[in-house]
Amino acid sequence: MPEIKLNLRSNLLRLFRYLSAIILNYLNQFRKMSNIELVFDFLSSYSAIAWC
């Protein structure tokens, strides 16, 4: 019985690491997209000011 519990615990830890990696990659990708949008907004507002 202890072997089964130990195996279950290691599998749960592996699953948790896998899911957390997926979530962190998703959030990082979303943050990069937001940063790109902020840069484009800044550049468009800067070019609008420069043309005035």
- CA–CA gap between residue 6 and residue 10 (Å, rounded): 6
Q: What is the pLDDT of residue 49?
A: 57
Handedness of CA 35, 39, 45, 49 (dihedral sign): positive
CA pair distance 6, 29, nearest whole angstrom: 35
Q: What is the pLDDT of residues 8-52, one digit of tens each?
A: 778 888 898 899 888 888 888 877 777 777 777 766 666 555 555
What residues does each domain of the chain span?
Answer: 1-52
DSSP of 9-38, one letter per residue?
A: HHHHHHHHHHHHHHHHHHHHHHHHHHHHHH
What single-letter amino acid sits at 28?
A: N
For 27, the token pair is 């959030």
